[in-house]
Structure 1
Amino acid sequence: MSAILRLGLRSKAATFMGLLAVMLLLAAVATSWIFIDLTRERYGAEVVRNHALLSKEQFMLPVARELALSQKLADSDATRNFLRDESRPDYRKAFFAEAESFRRLFGEHSLFAGVIASRHFYFNDNTLAFSSAPRGTMQRDVPADAWFFASTTKRTPYNFNINTNQQVGVTNVWVNVLVTDTDGTPLGFVGTGFELTHFLQRFARHDTSGLSSMLLAGNGAIQAHPDPARIEHQMVTDKVPTQTLFRLLSGPDDQPRVQAAMQRLRTSQSTVETLNVTLEGQQQLMAITWLPALDWFAVSAVEAHAGALLDSSLLLGALSVLAGLLVLAMILMYFGTHLLVFKPLLALSQGVRSMESGQYDINLHLTRQDEIGELATAFNRMASRVQRHTAELEATVSARTRELTDMLTRQQDNIHCARMIQHAMLPQTALTETCQGQLLVLWRPKDIVSGDLYLFHRDADGWLAGLVDCAGHGVTGALMTVLAHGAFQTAIDRVGSHDPAAILNVMNEIVRAPFAEQLASRQRVPTSMEAALVRIDPGHATLTYAGARIALYCVDRDGTVTVCKGGRRALGEKRQETYQSQTLPAQGLDCYLTSDGLLDQSGGPQEFGFGASRFAGLLGTLHTLPWADRLETLTSALTDWQGQEPQLDDICVIGFTAMPDPRKPAGDLACSSSTTPA
């Protein structure tokens, strides 16, 4: 024992599990061998064979009795006299007196007689009031009466037939015995019947053990089956049967093997045939025996794994032994693994959980000379090292955090200062005064500072408004707006403020100049700017527009929206374009410019962009509202469209009346803008 305890953990586990595996293997092999041997030698074929023979005897004993009584009645002079001339009262009285004594002896207490000459059918049983009058007349065109005419033609001494008799309305298994005159002339039939339900309960059943039985006619037609729907009726006729045993077989060679077995039984080569077949979709062991008196077959079948093939007491005993062994094995496994493995591993697990919660001053007291002892020693060293490294790391992280916080604070201060400077560049006050408050401005940076900028310049003859959407956003875009603002002022100084296209062409030269080398070498640089300028000349009541990828939306008094598209190239692109001005009548027009931040903003049910068409449609509904309400409506529409989607780009929209009406009361003037970043 001490030698085992000094072994390593793997050796201990291997020894313990090896002994346990040997015990379980021996128990499983012994138990399996017993079960297989008992099943093979004592139960399989023997059970189904005996069941088939028993079914045969259970069927033949009462059937033979009923057949013998029917034959005795058929051989009676009273029966022959009545069937020769049923109209004579004395013959009728003698026959029914004798028939009643036979009826009381029959198992179902029923009796019938059929007269060939008149085709009359007589029937009495315990459920109907006694009558010596015919219950009906057999008809050739009635399918249920086909047995009568078929039996008359065949003239077999007797037959069995499953049929629903229309004259008395009962479904029975009928015993039909032919009555002949002394010269062999057929006179009629007498016999009895088994009520079909009782017949099936007695001769065709499927018990809980998995055994089932059925009866077949000589051609394989099913005459008794646990499922009444599978029974073939009117087999005494010459019709081709549809409900046969062969239809229930699905194995590749089941049908010829069963037919061969039936032939061997007919030729007395054997008394019982057993076969493995696929019956009704399941593997079953089937036994067949022949009933020579009827040329019928009794069939018994059992499922391959049914409980009938095993002795429950033996099975219970074997299972009890196996369960006892398993319980003993589990007890040994529990105590062995708990003492050898689980208890020390639990201490290690607790140490790991303590380290996970941040407690590193851990020392496991496991003085063992195996792998778990080595693992505990290594864990103690690791915990000490982790504690030391954690303290050093926390100090380093704290210092780095302070440095990053200071740096971020300075950067945020600089960016907010840049926002103030950029906001001061926006000409909102001058634009509001010139438009007499009849304008809206929606300026919404994606970040703190924006890459979108709106412009304004006024001279003696009129005024100029514009919008620039620089590449990028945030700090990059904001720096580009400084360049754009400077280029705008420089262009006006060079070419004046009367021709928007000339201003855009000069701005293009100015923007491209610092990046000429990069543009020539086809380097990727964020220098492009989309821009649009609108010149209002009050004296001539005209509007002059030029654009670089930013369109002008004009709304007249009746809400019609006209879109003026400018050049296809932005300022500062590698490929250049000479921009052209467009002049329009300014009277009664409201003008709108927007950056692509609004048009490209995703949202809606399918997360599509807002789009130019939706924007134009919205402008068509705004012209009847005061300008302050227009801004609120535009902002609400954008917010509803965006939903929970993030803002993708800087957004800038400006709108104004081209020819402000100075006569409009001050109370109707409205100026509102949104400059809060989303």
Structure 2
Amino acid sequence: MAHRWGLRGQSTLTLLMACLLALIPALLIGWQALDDVRHHFATRYAEQYTLLHMQRILAPVSRELALSRRFADSVVTREWLTAPDDAEKRDRFFREAEGFRDQFSGDAYFVIDHASGDYYYNGDDAEPSRGARYRLTTDDPQDAWYFDTMDSAASYNINVNVDAKLELAKVWFNVKVTEDGRPLGLAGGGLDLSRFLDDFLRDDTPGLTPMIVDPRGAIQAHPDRRRVALSSGAREALAGDAPRLQAMLDDAAQRARLGDAMLEARRRPGEVETLEVSLEGQPRLLAVGYIPELQWLLVSTLDLESAPVLDGRWLWPLVGGLALILAVLMAGAAYGIDHFILGPLRRLQLSARAIADGDYASRLPTDRGDEIGELSRAFAHMARQVERHTQELEDKVRHRTRALEATNAEMAAARRQIDASLEYASIIQRAILPSRQLQAHLADHHAVLWRPRDQVGGDFYVFRATEAGYLMGVIDCAGHGVPGSLMTMLARAIIDHAILKVGADDPAAILNETDRQNRETLHRESLPASIATNMDVGLVWVAHGAERLTFAGAKMSLYASDGERLEVQPGGKRALGQKRAMTYENHAVPLHRGWTYSLCSDGFLDQAGGEHGFGFGNSRFEAMLRRHATAPLPEQIAAFEAELDAYRGDHPQRDDITLLCFRFDAAPQARGPSVDAAAST
């Protein structure tokens, strides 16, 4: 029969037999299944309702919380709370606060000065005010929420409260404002409580009541405002008389089950826990979901009697009958399909696994005359084709592998030659740096951070000691890597020749002469436009016993700081070798005893890092110089390098970096014999 009927006939005959057998028990099973379906639908209904309201609440409340945290973390807010009597900072704060006020959904913000206890509030009910509304004190019980919040370990909380002094009922977003671990106050915004309840909790769906509770069970929001536990968000221990969800349950066993459900919901955010309880004497189905971003639990109570889960007018005769008939039909069909179809297919599956393991010997039922037999014969043919193609591919892979191994060996040899050449070039480049001369003449009065981006780089520094004083400087040639290193060798030769020609005591003359020789040596008109030959240079001349130093720079500044003040002497606006030439001038700068003087290439300032990948920047660099100016020079360099690496994070080094620092605690005096032009090498 299997050969005459085929798979389709066999399936039809099996399904017909199953229908005949299922007619009698169908009615009996249906009545029992309907109750289970109703309970299942009610549970899913409560879960989906809870998940939907969690999302409706999360988006706007998360936005207000994020906006409140930005408001509290604003540099302007912290600066004003650090110095609340500073009129300029106060004016800047209130102007920025009005911008935040326009973004808050509640059109309101508040800020509290921790030092004075002054409470500032501006809402949509009055003209903006810059005066404190009132002052919080530890003696006033209504102000306890603030001091509890500041004493807590959390950086923020969301608190439902009625401010009796302002006569406002809001959902407050309280965010701490700190500076280096020191509390400065509290800031944030607020959503109108009535509007919050209308938008998210008051629902006309019959039989369903949503509410928001905190992890301790305190009711944060409820369609009935009398059930809200006001100010509970700031308490360490919930008062006994505050409304709690546990108090609405009838016995201790149900309260324990509720506690387990709340704990499980917190462990698995995004999922909903359900349980059946007696709530104030009425049977209810509770659905509990956790919103980790807000540390709130959304609890939906479902009255199975009044909720429109199933409509008995049509559901009993239609859904019950269809579901049971479908179940019986599927059971009968499953038996027939398993016996007539799935059994042979399982044998086909075993053969396919054998072929996957490399065994191509066909063990398929090719003698059948139905569709299974046809499929088996086609599969056997495919197995033979796969075996043939596999052997051909293996031969090709072996040939290609040998070719790739040979190519890889050639590339490895070439790479070793390149690495050896770069290492040799790096040794030569380091040899031209005047580190020994600096140590011999300045000793502890100098420190250098020299860090090329690649094995060789385009930055170097110079030092020249004469009987009259010292010349030192930093040179940043265009480019980095091998091109930059070639530029350093050329630039070093040009600068040495310029010093021999004009002397070491005139930095501006050295720059002008170097610029002239650079233009004569490198003819820009014969070079492609993409090739840069310019140099940023900063040179300092310090005469023995002098009270002033002479500085000249080309797109490089001289920084001086004593830890309290920072003085910046900018250099010329154009680099050496730029298309438009300029004449560089000397600048006489006071030589303060104990001050740290620094020259730095732009690789430090341009280094990308931080959260958004921005450059290190002048303001951050100058603050770093001021912060470490009084430390010993080697410690300063170590601190600078550590701050740069911390800011850079995972970003690669963008350019070569050179930083030269020097400091004189007494008037500079000559040390050792005078050094001629060759000493700098």
TM-score normalised by the chain length of structure 1: 0.49
TM-score normalised by the chain length of structure 2: 0.49
Greater RCO, CA 8 A, separation 6+: 2
Report the structure number with the largest CA radius of gyration: 1
